[in-house]
Amino acid sequence: MSTEAQIVPSGLKQPYHLVTPSIWPLIGALGGGVTMFGIILAAHFGDFIVLGIGLLIVLATMFGWWRDVIRESRTPGLHSMVVRVGLRYGMMLFITSEVMFFVAFFWAFFYYGLFPSNISGLLHPSWPPPGVMTPYTFGIPLLNTMILLLSGTTVTWAHHALIEGDRKGLLTGLALTVLLGASFTGFQAYEYMHAPFHFSGGGIYPAVFFLATGFHGFHVIVGTLFLLVCWFRAKAGQFTPERHFGFEAAAWYWHFVDVVWLFLFVCVYWWGHGVYAAG
């Protein structure tokens, strides 16, 4: 046995980590399917029970799966240098797939925004369609833009504090980022409750608007939970300046959320606005 193999407590004789069988991918797929079905029921019939069940399954999956991954990362010898490089590539590919996810929403928005004649049943095609009042661009949408930009600053501050060994700065930066993410969600919920249109029966504009901004809002919630987990891990001393990929992955995801919102603000709220609703 080589010297390198002897110093690996897990007994692995190669630098790769073979993941143990897990039930979480199956449960996560089930939760995603139930959630999507619940969204359809809520949109068409106002029934939120199935949606709530789906979200609970998704949250349980997130908790259980993250718990197992954290345990793996703390087991000596499992997350070798080769494994950590693979994790970084995996996170980058995951974010790339998320980008393509939002490209579909932007494609739909510009398809009708640039060519409103594609909307059937309109005598005088325009975008937004005639009679649709849109939210005021420089109200809550601008405030949420400032909130997310500030949160990108605080999470970067936390990252630099971690690298410099500043535990207090790390915890403070992460806590501020979580609070800013929760604030964004609260303001967006307020905007939805006072929106001048509704998802069901409102036509193509509300459908595209709520899908694009709503799925982004869901990503903000996921990112906030991701960072909250990192805060508890940082408080427990599980991150070091040399090894903290869990935090890096959360920061990458949060910056992705920031950038997507900037595109949403410019394209949907500013470029695609129509007649502003009163107030």
Q: Which residues of 117-145 are buried (b: 16+ CB within 10 A; e: fewer)?
A: eebeeeeeeebbbeebebbbbeebbeebb
Average pLDDT over residues 9-36: 81
Fold agreement (1-79, 81-276): no
What separation in angstroms does the CA of 77 have from each of 84, 154, 243?
A: 11, 32, 13
Taking only the tens place, the pLDDT of each residue in 32-83 is 999 999 999 998 888 899 999 999 999 899 889 888 888 887 877 777 778 8
The β-bridge partners of 133 are: 275
According to DSSP, residue 7 is labeled T
According to DSSP, residue 238 is labeled -
What separation in angstroms does the CA of 82 have from each of 158, 183, 190, 247?
A: 26, 38, 46, 18
Vertex 175 angle, CA 174 and 178, to 5°: 85
- Are 104 and 211 in contact by the 8 Å Cβ rule? The answer is no
The β-bridge partners of 275 are: 133
Taking only the tens place, the pLDDT of each residue in 111-152 is 888 888 777 666 667 788 877 888 889 999 999 999 999 999
pLDDT of 231 > 90? The answer is: yes
Instruction: Place 14 in a pLDDT band, splitting at 50, 70 and 90.
Output: low
- Portion of the chain with pLDDT greater than 90, in percent: 56
Q: Give the pairing of strands 275-276 and 133-134.
A: parallel
Q: How many Å is the Cα radius of gyration of the chain?
A: 22
Q: How crowded is residue 188: how many other Cβ atoms within 10 Å of its Cβ?
A: 20
Taking only the tens place, the pLDDT of each residue in 205-224 is 888 899 999 999 999 999 99
Angle formed by the axes of helices 140-163 and 204-235, nearest 10°: 30
Helix (H) or strand (E) holding 70: helix 49-73
pTM for the structure as a whole:
0.81
Instruction: Place 173 in a pLDDT band, splitting at 50, 70 and 90.
Output: very high
Helix (H) or strand (E) holding 133: strand 133-134
Question: What is the residue extent of each domain of the chain?
Answer: 1-79, 81-276
Average pLDDT over residues 227-234: 94
CATH architecture of 81-276: Up-down Bundle (1.20)
276 in helix, strand or coil?
strand
- Helix, strand, coil shares of the chain, percent, nearest 5, are 70, 0, 30
Q: How far apart are CA 189 and CA 201, in angstroms?
A: 20
Q: Name the fold adopted by 1-79.
A: Helix Hairpins (1.10.287)
